[in-house]
Structures are given as structure tokens and as C-alpha cells.
Structure 1
Amino acid sequence: MQLAGVFNIAMEPKAERVWADGCYDMVHYGHANQLRQAKTFGKKLVVGVHTDEEIRLHKGPPVFTEVERYRMVRGIKWVDEVVEGAPYCTTVETLDRYNCDFCVHGDDITRTSEGTDTYEEVKNAGRYRECKRTEGVSTTDVVGRMLLLSRAHFTRDEWIEKHKEDARTLATHNDAASPWTDVSRLIASSRTLEEFSQGNKPKPGDKIVYVSGAFDLFHIGHLSFLEKANVLGDYLIVGILSDHMVNSYKGENHPLMNLNERVLTVLAYKCVNQVIIGAPYDVTDEMIDQFNISVVAQGSRVPHHEVDGVDPFAAPKRRGIFQIIDSKSDMRTEVIIKRIFDRREEFEQRNRTKFEKEKKINGHNGV
């Protein structure tokens, strides 16, 4: 039996323009997957992003600012247009204003602060379609991972002072591990990677650019850096370091997102053509030759992790293909964590409120 408002995409032709909306706070692979699915319903995907004020009213404080969230959503592969300051409740008038046939949302229920279904009007009008929610991740979950930790755990200098050991050596030890890399319920598959990468391969003669890093809690600084790296050539490959390696040089509770989560989030962006999963820390001559790399770039606004006195970029520097990029953004993972800890009580209340709402909804649904 088909639920009201839920349509099989194979049963109807693609619409010209479809609508999706949301907070898109701390943008992650779950958001990207929802937008990827929404795009399959139409030729053009228009995405409405709510203001900070609307989110505070209905959910609690956002972590990213609205300006950051607009930019982050605009950079996702499947997004054709972004509507800034979209209303929290989706109406027929909104769909008509932006010439959208219907809106698409995940199969989880979203409600206003008064408990009203935010899609009630468009559902009643038959202009609502549903896609699958990505299990195992949510902004609430990611924020929760940070709320359970003390700020000191994230201070790299304090961690290094405490351990007094070489980071490269620690990378081979079993005790160099984040407690959060095993909590994700994401089940990655070759099909998921293919859907996110869209099978994009370099063409003969393409100038290939390579960058690498943790890309944990993907943010506006990461995006700015990757966009600037992208314009240095025709095809951008991003090396995503393993959980073990990131933990070895950043400290006890890093990374917050595991390797699969970080890979899919980075791969969802327009400026990224390919990722190397669990990339080596050192960019070697063999690697440069294997991937036909013309440019290796590093950001100027992040710490340069030269472990054990060995420069990981020695080979590209020797070959004259190394470049420094200024992302023009001072955003770092530590800044995001500080935002949450500075307003810890507000975010804890936000998570509690969401939990209680979901508990009530599940109760009403007999779950």
C-alpha cells in the first residue's frame, strides 16, 4: 500500500523544478544524500535554507551561521539554486513563487515549535514527495558527540605535551584512536561511492591537482580551500587521511567523523572530482606518477604537521609542483567545537528537546 504523499519516481516523469528545504546545519553526508535523492525527481533542484532566527525559534541555536550554510549548500553537486531565508513551513505559495512542481523531503517528520507538521499544506495539496532519510547521522548526533567531551580533549598542544611521544610512531599503536570513529551506523558500499562520485574520470590532458587532509566536521574553511585548489587545474583529487593517522597528530578524540563519513561529505561537493580513501600521509614520487598529478597544494591557514622531522611534501617540492593556497577563511574544526562549548547548555537543551519531540511522534505512530 502506498502512503499518502509518497510517490514512486518510476511511475511519473521528471518534473522541471523540484523543491527541497531545511536547516542544513553542520552540513554532512546525510544532507548531501537527501539532496542527491531529491534531484532524481526533477531536472532542476531548488533548495531553500532557513535563517538563524527561524531555526532558533523551532529547534534551538544553529552551529553554522546562515551565511555559512547558504554557501555550504550551494557547493553541493546536486543543487542548482539556493533560496536564502526560506520559510520554516513549506507552503504552496512558496512552491509557486519558485516555479516548483512539488517538494521532496526525507521520511522523517519535522515539526514547528508548536508541533505542526511543516509539510502539512503541501501534503494536502498533493505536492509532496518523499525520499529515504540517511540512517546513522544527524546534526543532533554530531553535536552530541562533542557535548560528551571536555574542551581539553580537543586541545592538540595539551595532548602532545601530555603524551610526549612521536606522532608518527603513535599512528602504528592501537591506543591512537578516537572513541567516535566506531559509533557511526553508516554502511558504506561501492554503490554509494559511485552515486556520490557520479563516475567522474579525468580526461586525457587534464591537469590533475592533489590535496590531502582530515576534513573532519566539514566546514566553510574546507570548502573555500577546495574551491581554490580546484581552479589550479582541471581535475581535483582529495586524499582523506585515515582515522588512525588523524588521531595520531590531532589528539585523543579526533576525528569526530569516521573515514567513511568524511569521504562521502567531501565527495558530495562540486569542486571535488575524486577521493583517495585512507590516503598516505606522505605524497611520494610513486603516488605522483600513479595519479599523474601536476599540482600538489596545501593550505596556509592550517597547522603544518611535519611528523618525525619528515616533510610529507618533500617529493612535490623537489619536483617543483607544490603550491600554497590561502583559503581566505580562518574557520577550523576547533572553532566549531569552541562554538558549541561556549553555548553548551543551549545545545544540550536543543538535543533534549529534539529527543522528546521524536519520542512523542514515535509514540503516536505506535513505534
Structure 2
Amino acid sequence: MEKQMAAKLLTTCLIGSAILGGICYCYYYWNNNNGLLNRRKKKKGIRVYMDGCFDMMHYGHCNALRQARALGDHLFVGVVSDSEIIANKGPPVTPLHERLTMVSAVKWVDEVIPDAPYAITEEFMNKLFNEYKIDYIIHGDDPCVLPDGTDAYALAKQAGRYKQIKRTEGVSSTDIVGRMLLCVRERSVTDNPNPKHSSLQRQFSHGHSHNFEDNTATRISHFLPTSRRIVQFSNGRGPGPDARIVYIDGAFDLFHAGHVEILRIARDLGDFLLVGIHTDQTVSATRGAHRPIMNLHERSLSVLACRYVDEVIIGAPWEVSKDMLTTFNISLVVHGTIAENHDFEKEKSNPYAVPISMGVFKILDSPLDITTTTIIRRILSNHEAYQVCLYLIISYA
């Protein structure tokens, strides 16, 4: 009898221990996993916002967006309206719809907010925080001062929701305008010399060259290329074993919305888009000594920043050879209908003769009628406005 009671007691203890252990385990599991869920819930993606005019978009803009994206998990980019730019800086070279195309194509951008205000107002800041759930507003370490002398990001700083990134040295939209004006001066100075205009253009170009005979002046840049910067912009991946590789080449000078759109169409034709960037010497030989405006590495970074591009050949040859097609396993070579060298078939040496003979060449209809020359002509059409702007800058410097 005593043995039976002892056995029963032991069984009860074992069952109770098992139940208690199960309860403890369930509590432990629930507590830890619920905590994990809570942490995941709390750790929502950090949403950051950066705005700008992004006029004549260049690799400096792209690098700023890359840095901003690195500070969060989702990057919203506000593109300032044309009217706001005119009121605060003067007429933009590229209209809003083209600037939206450019910003949307940058691979670090997640969403674009059009018609953003030039200054962060309280109303717009609340919209960013409440509607877009923005955590931080980002801007470069260069000052952004309104016409009345106040800081455009003062409210964001006061709210404790402001973060700063380093500005990319060696390039600015103003500098690029100066390079263009300089190249125009070089072409026209012997035909129609105007000391006043030459002086203004030289100052707009930061006085990098005072030698009218020096055709390399248009390519002067403070940009110092490094392997690290190339890696930062690169996708870091190659094509798969059975990938259909599409190749397109060109100068891609003053990277613009026309370039973006033709790259988008080219990318849709395959699995991997390889872009050849011609050397400065090749561009000068085919388009004149005053070209390119941007040097080889500057042009390469702008193309690399485009979400439709998988890889670039820095310093691609003018002619597409059979050896090149084999080496890079290129399935299709394409060229747009809107391009500076659209008469390539009439040239002595057709650069696409080999892919044409192999049946792997295709002409693509360009969606936008824009070339580098288009951008330069826009600058010239606003020449007086830029000169007035420069005169004011020099007067108050």
C-alpha cells in the first residue's frame, strides 16, 4: 500500500514537473519571441528625406544621394519645382519633368516627391513626419541660405531631425555651366571677341584657364578618381552564365534625361546592360576639341549611378570588334536614333560594322529628343540671366 502511494506521489510529481516545465518553456518562448517581434516591430525601416534642385544632375548629386541612403533604409527625394528655383536661384537648365526622370533613375532613390519647396517650412516638415513617416532630413555640409539670409533647414535642426553628409568636392552645377561657357568662348573668341563676356565666362569657370588657345580648358576638373569611389558606385555583380548581355556605347557627356531613357529601353532588351564610355580623346576627335565637358571618370560615375546600368567599360573603344563581342559575351549591340553621332553609317569606318554583319545590331527609337548640344543651347539661351547672376555673386563676394 505504501509502495503504491509512493509510486502515485512520484508520478504526480513527475507530471507536475513536466507541466511546470512546459509552462516555463512556453513562457520563455513567448517572452523571447514576442520580444523579438516587438523589436522587429520597433525596428521599422529608417526613412530619410533629401531634397534639391538637381539641375544638370551630375555625379556629385548622385554621391549625395548615395550617402543619404546609407543613413537609412528608405530614401525619399524631394525635387524642387521650377517656380521655386526661379524665385531662389534663377532659371533652371532642365525642367521639372526631366529632373524627375534623372532623380528617379538613381539607384539609391526609393521614392520621389515632386514640387518640393526650396525651404523646409513648418507645414511641409509636418507633412514629411506625419504623412511620409520621415525620421531624418538630410543635407550636405555646404550652407543652404535663403534670399533673406536664413538657413533653409533651420526648422529641421531645431526639431532634432536633421543629419548632415559631406559634400562631394570638385563639381557643382555652377562649375559645369562655367565649363560650357568657356568652351563657347573658345570657339567664338577669334570670330567675335568680347572682352567683357570673356571675363565673365572666365570667372564663372573659376578662372581655371586664361589661355584662349588651350582647348583642354573645357575638361579641367578638380575630380580625383579613386578605386574606392568607383567601387561605391558599382553594383559589384556580374552577369549570370546564361545572361543576355546588351551593349550600348557613347560619350554620355552632361548625363541627361535622354541618356536615362535610352538606357532604360536598352536594359529591357536583356538581362544585363553593359555601357561603353568613350575616352576624352575619342570624344574630342569625333565631336570637336571643345568636348567633352565632363571628363571620362566623371561621365563613368554618372552612368554607373543609373539603376538601369549593370556595368561600364571605362574608356571603351570607338569600334565594336568581334573580339570585344566575344570577350564580354555580348548578345546585342544597340544605338539610339537621337545621338550626336547619328550619321555613323556614313562614316569611312562604321564603328558598328562588325555587329551589323553578325546580325546583332539594333537601332532603338529614343523617347526624348535631347542631346548634350541641347543642354548647351539651353545654357546659351539663358546666357544673360547667368551673367547677371554671376555679376551679383562677384559684386557681393
With the shorter chain as reference, the TM-score category is 0.7 to 0.9
Answering whether residue 91 of structure 2 is matched by residue 61 of structure 1, we say yes
Distance 2:389 2:128 in 1: 29
Q: 1:122 aligns with which of 146, 153, 156?
A: 156
Answering whether residue 135 of structure 2 is matched by residue 105 of structure 1, we say no
C-alpha change, 1:177 and 1:42, in structure 2 (3 Å) is: same
Distance 2:332 2:214 in 1: 31
Q: Is the 8 A contact 2:255 2:303 kept in 1?
A: yes
Residue type matched to 1:180 in 2?
T
Q: 1:318 aligns with which of 344, 357, 377?
A: 357
Q: 1:84 aligns with which of 86, 99, 114?
A: 114
Worse-matched range after superposition: 46-55 or 87-96: 87-96
With normalisation by structure 1, the TM-score equals 0.84
**Greater helix share, 1 or 2?**
2
Distance 2:184 2:218 in 1: 14
Correspondence for 1:274: 311
Give matches, 1:200-349, under 5 Å.
200-302=237-339, 303-305=342-344, 309-349=348-388
Task: Provide Cα deviations, 1:36-71, integer angstroms capped at 9, x if missing partner.
Answer: 000001110000000010001111110000111011
Q: 2:179 aligns with which of 145, 148, 172?
A: 145
Residue type matched to 1:327 in 2?
S
C-alpha change, 1:128 and 1:14, in structure 2 (3 Å) is: farther
With normalisation by structure 2, the TM-score equals 0.78
Match of 2:145, SS state, is coil
Task: Provide Cα deviations, 1:117-136, integer angstroms capped at 9, x if missing partner.
Answer: 11010011111101110001
Distance 2:237 2:148 in 1: 45
Q: Is the 8 A contact 1:243 1:258 kept in 2?
A: yes
Name the larger-Rg structure. 2
TM superposition shift of 1:151: 7.2
Aligned residues: 325
Residue type matched to 1:283 in 2?
V
Q: Is the 8 A contact 1:197 1:267 kept in 2?
A: yes
Aligned sequence identity (%): 46
Q: 1:72 aligns with which of 89, 92, 102?
A: 102
Correspondence for 2:68: 38
Distance 1:178 1:220 in 2: 26
**Structure with more contact order per residue of length (Cα contacts < 8 Å, sep ≥ 6):** 1
Task: Note the residue ranges of structure 1 that are not aligned, 5 or more in a row.
Answer: 1-12, 155-174, 360-367
Task: Provide Cα deviations, 1:222-265, integer angstroms capped at 9, x if missing partner.
Answer: 11111111111010010000000000010121100000110001
Correspondence for 1:95: 128
Q: 2:53 aligns with which of 18, 23, 34?
A: 23
Task: Provide Cα deviations, 1:112-156, integer angstroms capped at 9, x if missing partner.
Answer: 1222111010011111101110001000110111223437939xx
Q: Is the 8 A contact 2:320 2:355 kept in 1?
A: yes
Q: Is the 8 A contact 2:235 2:311 kept in 1?
A: no
Q: Is the 8 A contact 1:177 1:247 kept in 2?
A: no
Q: Is the 8 A contact 2:186 2:215 kept in 1?
A: no
C-alpha change, 1:208 and 1:240, in structure 2 (3 Å) is: same
Correspondence for 1:192: 229
Task: Note the residue ranges of structure 2 that are not aligned, 5 or more in a row.
Answer: 1-42, 189-212
Match of 1:113, SS state, is coil
| Cα root mean square deviation, aligned | 2.0
Match of 2:333, SS state, is strand
Residue type matched to 1:316 in 2?
P
Match of 2:50, SS state, is strand
TM superposition shift of 1:95: 2.4
Q: Is the 8 A contact 1:48 1:86 kept in 2?
A: yes
Match of 1:42, SS state, is coil
Match of 1:255, SS state, is coil
Distance 2:69 2:114 in 1: 19
Q: Is the 8 A contact 1:73 1:82 kept in 2?
A: yes
TM superposition shift of 1:179: 2.3
